[in-house]
């Protein structure tokens, strides 16, 4: 398993997908968008933890605890803030450049809350 460096560069969507998918992913894809955005469309294996909750002191979901985190939002701005916040709390976290907009543009799957084809709000 790899460890993210504190000063790790941002990941491309290709790197993010490679690290967070497959039978034994190296990291958890942590989506920090708000609930309506999550419901409209997210990566199939992502874990949801809105930045507003994290900033207010909410704990990470169990599936993301003690795991390297690849943090994603819509465009990459909130994920940068979330990755910084999580790193300050001693988590291994790095964000995805371009966020879910870049993810969808790369042709990677996006599902809604029911598992159907989703969209990026």
SS (H, E, C) 66-120: CCCEEEECCCCHHHHHHHHHHHHCCCCEEEECCHHHHHHHCCCCCECCCCCECCC
Q: Which residues are the active-site residues? A: 73
Q: Are 49 and 58 in contact (CB under 8 A)?
A: yes
Distance of CA 70 to the CA centre of its chain: 5
Q: Which of 85, 99, 97, 98 is nearest to 6 (CA)?
A: 85
């Amino acid at each position: 398993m790899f460890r993210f460096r504190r000063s790790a560069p941002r990941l491309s969507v290709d790197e993010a997908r490679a690290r967070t998918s497959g039978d034994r992913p190296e990291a958890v894809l942590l989506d920090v968008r708000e609930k309506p955005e999550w419901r409209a469309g997210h990566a199939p294996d992502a874990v949801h933890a809105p930045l507003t909750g994290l900033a207010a002191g909410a704990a990470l979901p169990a599936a993301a605890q003690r795991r390297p985190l690849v943090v994603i939002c819509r465009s990459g701005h909130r994920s940068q803030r979330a990755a910084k916040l999580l790193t300050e709390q001693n988590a291994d976290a790095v964000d995805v450049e371009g966020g879910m907009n870049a993810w969808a543009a790369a042709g990677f799957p996006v599902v809604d809350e029911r598992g159907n084809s989703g969209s990026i709000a």
